[in-house]
Amino acid sequence: MKSSFSFFPEAASTFAPQVDALYMFLVLLTLFFTVAIYFAVLFFALKYRRTPENQQGVHIHGNNLLEIIWSVIPLGIVMIIFVWGAVLFLRGIHSPEGALEITGVPKQWMWKFQHPQGKREINQLHVPVGKPVKMIMTSEDVIHSFYVPAFRVKQDVLPNRYSSVSFEPTKPGTYHLFCAEYCGTSHSQMIGSVVVMEPADYQAWLAGTAGAGTPLSQAELGQKVFQQLNCQSCHSDPLRAPALEGLLGKAVELEEGRIVTADRNYIRESLMNPNAKIVRGFQPIMPTYSGQITEEEIMQLISYLSQSPNQAETPAAQSTGQAPPKGV
């Protein structure tokens, strides 16, 4: 961290300069109009001041041309800000193919993260430099907000649904991680750090300290959850329940005829509220797993269900041959 004054916090992601450019535009625009308006006030106050006593002003009843000009020009300016901001927003939530997917479950008052290879950490987030990272998060209690100023990234994390945000770090270093949504007594202490490492260092870090053993990957943990909950007792019978292999990202036809993408939120909802969406051709017999499974276990389960079906015994019954993009 630089100790000298700087206008912006350190910029350490590909996204940061783009946000700074918009911010700089807003600052310069504001500065321009502030100066212009104050000079105009001063100029008109001097030029049109009352010189002889009892001088009367001319009565003016509006000027359409003037009205149009001072409506259209500001409209154009705010449209530039709107479009520019919207493009940046969409870029921020879009994650490129092949992004490293790290899951996070914040709770009062800590940040818990898990890497695809299974490594967990609290209040620290290790990521490799130069590789897009997609954070997939849900809260265990109230609304939190994932905020890394150096990346210009801020995303609210809500309970009962998945929020995601992407970034690509450009500089190794340690950066602040804040919770940016008031979440109770110790909100201000819900802070941590993001450690950006060279890819080789990240791999070494993932491999862990000697003797600790290799942790199970998210998908392997998910397979355990799958077995513990005995999901296969119904889902291996194609007459009772739809097949689940490689489900994440697939198109699913519902009883009412609608086709939805089996994204993370869909799978989560199917576990917690199974009757919300019934797959075509099946009876609503699935019980809810609300209260029986933690958010982390659901994420692991989804990771397991994202695996391609080639390891599984039965081919996925719902495959439509097309591969829709993975949603959140």
Residues found near ligand CUA in the complex (CB under 6 A): 106, 109, 144, 179, 181-183, 187, 190
Closer residue to ligand CUA in complex, CB, 143/272: 143
Q: Contact at 8 Å (CB) between 113 and 125? A: yes
Helices and strands in the chain, H and E counts: 7, 12
Cβ closer to ligand CUA: 102 or 137? Answer: 137
Is residue 45 within 8 A of residue 182, CB to CB? The reply is no
Provide, rounded to whole angstroms, the least separation between the CB of residue 156 and ligand CUA. 10
**Which of the 8 DSSP states describes residue 276?**
G
Nearer to ligand CUA, 18 or 108 (CB): 108
Q: How far is the CB of 134 from ligand CUA (least distance, A)?
A: 21
HSE, CB side, 13 Å, CA atoms: give it for residue 194.
29
> For residue 135, what are the contacts with CB-CB under 8 A and spacing of at least 6?
102, 103, 104, 146, 155, 164, 165, 166, 167
For residue 221, give both structure tokens. 């943990």
Cβ distance to ligand CUA smaller for residue 147 or 266:
147
Calpha distance 83→278 (Å, rounded): 39
Q: How far is the CB of 143 from ligand CUA (least distance, A)?
A: 8
| Closest CB to ligand CUA among residues 184, 238 | 184
Query: Least distance (Å) from ligand CUA to the CB of residue 144?
Result: 3
β-sheet bridge partners, residue 196: 127, 173
Dump the DSSP string for 230-266.
Answer: TTHHHHT-TTTS---TT-TT-EEEBTTS-EEE--HHH
CB 284 within 8 A of CB 272: no
Residues forming beta bridges with residue 12, ordered by sequence position:
none
- Closest to ligand CUA by CB, 18 vs 123, is 123
Nearest residue (CB) to ligand CUA, 188 versus 314: 188
Shortest separation between residue 41's beta carbon and ligand CUA, angstroms: 43
CB of 106 to ligand CUA, least distance (A): 6
Burial of 270 (0-12, 13-18, 19+ CB in 10 A): buried
CB of 26 to ligand CUA, least distance (A): 26
